[in-house]
Amino acid sequence: MSIPSLRRAAMTDTHQADSSSPEHGPLATLTPRIKAGVLAEALPYIRRFHGKTIVVKYGGNAMTEERLQRSFAHDVVLLKLVGLNPIVVHGGGPQIDDALKRVGKQGSFVQGMRVTDAETMEVVEWVLGGQVQQDIVMMINEFGGKAVGLTGKDGGLIRARKMLMPDKNNPGAQLDLGFVGEIASVDPSVVKALQDDQFIPVISPIGFGEDGMAYNINADLVAGKIAEVLHAEKLIMMTNTPGVLDKNGNLLTGLTASKIDELFADGTISGGMLPKISSALEAAKSGVNSVHIVDGRVEHCLLLEILTAQGVGTMIKSH
């Protein structure tokens, strides 16, 4: 079975068994000889990316379905074991919404951005920096990795400032969304120290301001900026779609900066994909070798994207 065949098998496999066991999943029916061939085909990619930093924005279905959670953790550990340096930046919108409901609070959004008052920010910190982050850390460690959780406040990682959003209904006016921030600067020293000691950093998108307050930051923006500052080889953003689609719903497997500008202008890219693609494009323009928008609903999508010629999404390059 070739790598493309394995990709098809992974995309159609619906086995619900424990993905940590080698007897289950898309490789279960392959002979040892075929498995060896699959590994041999991955070798050039392992060699090419050995020692390189790979930043992964983790979110969507891959964070909420146990089968996909385990597949993700398995992939991250395997990438580390073969010599790559993965960094995980995670979101947690659905988990925040659930937590707000439990405290009797309804989340509200303006132009797609969460309004974050002081009470909501407390919940955001507890959910992202506590519950969600520790679930990811424990699952990676369960598969044999050495994950460490961070927020942007740890080691001065992410300095933030309050974000004021232009009001699309009132030109010239700005909207105050509360404790929603944008990135002022990133100091990657703590991340580099963890990488040097063979740990896998797991980062929650919370920054701190000069006012001493914590700010909730879009996870796509954090992943993009960290990839840029660390001169990452790849930035991989996991989504609930096959990648970037054209107006007819067809997958666009490769995009350049100029093509993305066209897709922005004609409305093909809109809504929740705007910050994701904007961050991807900025990272590509700022030195990240390639950015990938991948379908997090596909088991082992990280391995398929990084260690095969086929990939499972859209690749974005600056030119």
114 has binding-site annotation = yes
From start to end of the chain, where are the E strands? 53-58, 85-90, 109-110, 113-114, 147-151, 158-166, 174-186, 200-204, 206-208, 214-216, 234-239, 254-255, 290-295, 313-316
- In the three-class reduction of DSSP (H, G, I as helix; E, B as strand; rest coil), residue 39 is classed as helix
> 318: Cβ–Cβ under 8 A, 6 or more apart, which residues?
256, 257, 281, 284, 285
Which structure tokens are listed for 268? 């093909």
> How far, in Å, CA of 38 to CA of 42, rounded?
6
Cβ atoms within 10 Å, residue 271? 10
Whole-angstrom CA distances from 297 to 66, 172, 213, 230, 256 are 11, 40, 35, 27, 25
Instruction: Convert 241-264 to b/e letters by CB count within 10 Å (16 or more is b).
Output: bbbbbeeeeeebeebeeeebeebb
Q: Report the half-sphere exposure of 29 (CA within 13 A, side-chain side).
A: 8
216 has binding-site annotation = yes
Contact 95, 126 (CB under 8 A): no
> How far, in Å, CA of 195 to CA of 198, rounded?
5
- Compute the C-alpha angle 184/194/218, nearest 5°: 35
Q: Which residues are annotated as a binding site for substrate?
A: 92-93, 114, 216
Q: Which residues are annotated as a binding site?
A: 92-93, 114, 216
